[in-house]
Each structure stands twice: as structure tokens, then as C-alpha cells.
Amino acid sequence: MPVVLAEASAWSYVTVTYVATVGLLGGYTAWILRRGRKVGRQLPPEERTWS
Amino acid sequence: MTSTPSDTGAGLLRLHPDGTASRGSRILGIVVLVSSVAFLYVALVASAPDRSLDAQGELVRIMYVHVPSAIACYTAFFVTAVASGMYLWRRTTGWDALAASSAEIGVVFTALTLLTGSIWGHTTWGTWWEWDPRLTSTALMFVLYLGYLALRRAILDPTSRAKQSAILGIIAFINVPIVHYSVDWWRSLHQTATVASLDPQIDGLRLFALMFGMVLAMLLYVWLMMHRFRLAYAEAALESKGLDQALAERRAEARADGGSVPPSVTPEGGS
């Protein structure tokens, strides 16, 4: 039983790690894309050399 | 060239007309997204827990995120240092934007490294934080590059900001090899490199999960850089336009007052 409990506890740490990773990287990505659209809107299309 | 949603592709490859995406970044984004799902499956389902002598059990799965994020922040800060050097040599806005973009992404990956390392440390060492050489030098690296980003926000003049940031971008990189080799140079609680030798400490699907994580982190870094660099470039262009407009307004005001235009607002004044 203690082994099962230890593994359950380990999985909770693993879950927190992956949720935090997806949350941090996902949040940062969303911020970049939203800010890119906001700033890009103010730039004339001919200066958006990448599009 | 104006672009509308209808003339820039279809379906998943459709570009937002105002955004920082290109066809290439959209394709890479899809590759990163699909690879992320595959990685989560390999890291959390397919690979077995560590049952070796120095067993970490299920906690080994934290390493598949922790190590790749550390490699990504090293790479990001290396690019910042190189781009900073190139700026000091060439003095072009592009190199400055590249250095700044890479530093910001590096800070995000460093935060992730510290966070995942802390979670792993709590379960393995029984403490969230230890003033160990690797942890301390990583925290110092995090603070140094936060300082780099703060410096960029504190200086208004673009040329002065780019120059001072470039100098800091090079100096701050001195700490990166110290972080990496700290486990070899000093007695450290932190383990030594897992896969740096020809005889890695893990094998099979666990090694594959770790390598997969590293490749994915690099792909994500490149994809984020594409967007962040374009955003920085667009911000620099707008800032330049704003300065030009402010100068033109100041000249018009000076002429309207009937006085002479101060040297600081003439083209020769270099303001």
C-alpha cells in the first residue's frame, strides 16, 4: 500500500509539472501571437515583409 | 501588398492578415503542435518508470521537460550573445531585435527550468530550494537576463538601448558555462549530465523521450523566435515612425513660433 501511495504522490508531482509547462509555454505563445496581431495592425502591409 | 484571409491560404495554413505568421511559421507551428501531442504520449504513457538501482520511479518523467528546457535556455542566451556581438559590429536594428527576442524566450525557458527543477527537488531531495552551485548559478542567470529585459525597458533612446543591451547580453553569457559546468567544478547536490557521455545514465524509451523533448524544445524555440523577432521588428518600425513624427511636429512648432529650429531637432542634429 505505501508503494501505491508513493506512486500516486509521484504522479501528482508529474501532473503539476506538465500542467505548469503547458500553461507557461501556452500562455507565453498566446501573448506573442496576440501582441503580434495588435502591433501588426498598426504597421502598413508593405512593411510586414514576412507575410 | 494587402492580404486578406481568403488570399493567404486555406484551413490550418490560413494566415491572420495582421499577425506575425508566415506560411513557413504556420507549417512549423503545426509540426510543433503534433510533435507535442506525440511527446506527451511518449513521456507520460509509453515510457516506463525508472526502476534502475538509482531509481526515480515515475519522477523521471519530470526530467523529459526539465532537461530540454535547460538546453533551450542555454541556446537562447547563446543566440542573444552572438546577436549582441553582431549588433556592436554592424549596428543594425535586426541584430538588436534578434538578441532581445532570444533573451525573452530564454527567460521563459529558464523560469520553466527552475520551476520543474524545484518540483523534482522537492520530491527527491525533500526541499523546494537548495543553495547548491547549479541552482544558485541558474537563479543568477535568470536574474541577469531579467535585468537585461528591464534595461531594455528603462532606456528610451533606441541606439543607446541597443548598445547597452548588447554589452550586457555579452557579459551575462559568461554565466551560462558556469551554470553548465557547476556540477563538475564544485560539489553539488545536483546530478551530473545524464546524456553528455557515450554511456548515458538512461536508455531505451526513456532516452528516446528525453531526446524527443530536446528536439521539440529546439523546434518550439525556433517557432517562438520567428514570431517574437517579427514582433520586435514591427515594434522597432513603429517606434522609429513615432520618433520621426515627433521630430516633424517639433520642427513645425518651431517654425510656427517664428524662431529658428534647434540643432537637436534638425536632421544634422542627430537627435
**For B1-52, how does the pLDDT look when each residue is reduced to its tens digit (9 = 90+)?**
444 444 444 454 556 667 899 999 999 999 999 999 999 999 999 998 887 7
For residue B99, tell me if it sits in a domain: yes
Q: pLDDT for B221-246, tens place per residue?
A: 999 999 999 999 999 988 888 777 77
For residue B13, tell me if it sits in a domain: no
Q: Write the DSSP symbol of residue B7.
A: G
For residue B15, tell me if it sits in a domain: no
Q: State mean pLDDT over B161-182.
A: 96
Yes or no: say if B76 and B106 are a contact pair by the CB < 8 Å rule. Answer: yes
Report the domain count for chain B: 1
Cell of B184: 563538475
DSSP element (H, E) containing B62: helix B60-90
Is any Cβ of chain A less than 8 angstroms from the Cβ of B245?
no
Residue B191: how many CA atoms within 13 Å on its side-chain side? 17
For residue B2, tell me if it sits in a domain: no
Please name the residues between 49 and 88 in chain B that touch chain A, using a CB distance below 8 Å. 49, 57-59, 61-62, 65-66, 69
The ipTM (two decimal places) reads 0.89
**To the nearest whole angstrom, how far is the Cα of B113 from the nearest Cα of chain A?**
9
CB atoms within 10 A of CB B37: 8
Max intra-chain CA distance, chain B: 86
Q: Is the pTM of this model over 0.80?
A: yes
DSSP three-state, residue B190: coil
Q: Which residues of A touch B3 (CB under 8 A)?
A: 45, 51
Is any Cβ of chain A less than 8 angstroms from the Cβ of B1?
yes
Domain that holds residue B70: 65-193+202-241
Lowest-pLDDT choice from B127-141, B146-160, B229-243: B229-243
Q: State mean pLDDT over B182-206.
A: 72
For residue B19, tell me if it sits in a domain: no
Best mutation target among B230, B238, B240, B241 (most A Cβ atoms within 10 Å) is B230
Best mutation target among A16, A21, A31, A38 (most B Cβ atoms within 10 Å) is A21
What pLDDT does residue B268 have?
A: 42
Is any Cβ of chain A less than 8 angstroms from the Cβ of B217?
no
Higher pLDDT, B158 or A45: B158
For residue B55, tell me if it sits in a domain: no
Chain B residue with minimum CA distance to A25: B108
Cell of B16: 491572420
For residue B54, tell me if it sits in a domain: no
Rounded to an integer, what distance in angstroms lies between the CA atom of residue B114 and that of residue B130? 12
Q: State mean pLDDT over B83-112.
A: 97
At A27, is the pLDDT very low, low, confident or very high (cuts 50, 70, 90)?
A: very high
For residue B122, tell me if it sits in a domain: yes
